[in-house]
Amino acid sequence: RKDVLRLTTGSNNLDSLLGGGLETQSITEFFGEFGSGKTQIMHQLAVNCTMPEEKGGFNSDVLIIDTENTFRPERIIQMSKYRELDSDEVLRRIHVARAYNSHHQILLGEKASEMAKEYNAKLLIVDSLTSHFRSEYMGRGSLSERQQLLNRHMHDLLRFGTLQNAVIAVTNQVAARPDVFFGDPTAPIGGNIVGHTATFRIYLRKGKAGKRIARLIDSPYLPEGEAVIQVSEDGIID
Ligand code: ATP
Ligand code: MG
C-alpha cells in the first residue's frame, strides 16, 4: 500500500512503538479497562490531526462518532493550548456525531465517506466501537448477530480509511484483568471479530501517577513491545 501516512499520538514513545504514528488505511484499536486513557487518546488524536504535516498532523478535519457522550470540548481547548494551536480553529475542524444506538452507529459509519468529502477529514474516530453492541446484544443467542453487525461496521470504517487515506481509531473496553477471566491478557470480551479486522491493536493499562502502559499486539509487521505514556492536563505526552 503506497501513500500511507502517519499521525502522531503526541507521545514520542508511543509513536516509536508504532513505527512513527498511526497509519492511514488501517484500523487502530485501543483497548483497556475504564479510565485507561482511551478517550483521552482519541481527543489528542483529534487535536493532532488538525496540526500541520511538519508537526506530525494532517492539517485536516476530524470526524468523531461518539457513542458514550464523552466528547469534551474543554479538553480539546486544554490540549490545543499546550500545542500552541488556536483552539477555536481546532474545535471548528472536529465534527462530532452522537450515536444513540448500534443501528444509528452503523448508519453513521455508512455515511462517513460522504461526510468526509464535505469536510476532507483524514481521521475517523469511533469511541466506543463496542459499547452499544455489548449492551444491546447480550444473550448467547444474539452473539453471532452482534459479531456480524460489528464486522460489517468495521469494514465500512475501513472503506472510509482507504477512500480518504485516513486514520481510523476505535476504542474497546475490556475487563481490568482479562487474563484472569479468559486466560489471555489480550482477549477483549467477545471481541474476536474486532481483533481480526483491526490492523493495529494497542492494549492500555494503568501505571503509577498518571502513567499508562501501551502494548502493541498482533501487528502485521512491527515487533511487539510496550511504551510508557502519560495522560496529563496537557494531553498525551511522554
Ligand atoms: P472508559 O472505558 O470508561 O471510557 P477510558 O479508557 O476512555 O475509560 P479516559 O476517559 O480516557 O478513560 O481516561 C480518564 C482518565 O484520564 C482519568 O481517570 C484521569 O486519570 C485522566 N484525565 C482526564 N482528564 C484529565 C485532565 N484534565 N488532566 C489530567 N488527567 C486527566
Ligand atoms: Mg472512554
236 lines ligand 1 (CB under 6 A): no
- What is the pTM assigned to this prediction? 0.94
- pLDDT band of 183, cuts 50, 70, 90: very low
**Ramachandran angles phi, psi of 226, nearest 5°:** -130, 155
Look at residue 196 in the predicted model and tell me its pLDDT: 64
Q: Residue 38 annotated as binding?
A: yes
Note the ipTM here.
0.99
Ligand 2 mean position, distance from CA 39 (Å) = 4
Look at residue 182 in the predicted model and tell me its pLDDT: 47
Is 237 a residue whose pLDDT tops 70? yes
Range 51-78 average pLDDT: 98
* Strands laid side by side in the 167-173 sheet: 94-98, 61-66, 121-127, 167-173, 27-32, 200-206, 211-217, 225-232, 235-237
Distances (CA, A) of 108 to 65, 85, 97, 151: 7, 29, 8, 15
CA-nearest residue for atom 20, ligand 1, is 210
- Cα torsion 143, 156, 111, 10: sign: positive
CA-nearest residue for atom 28, ligand 1, is 233
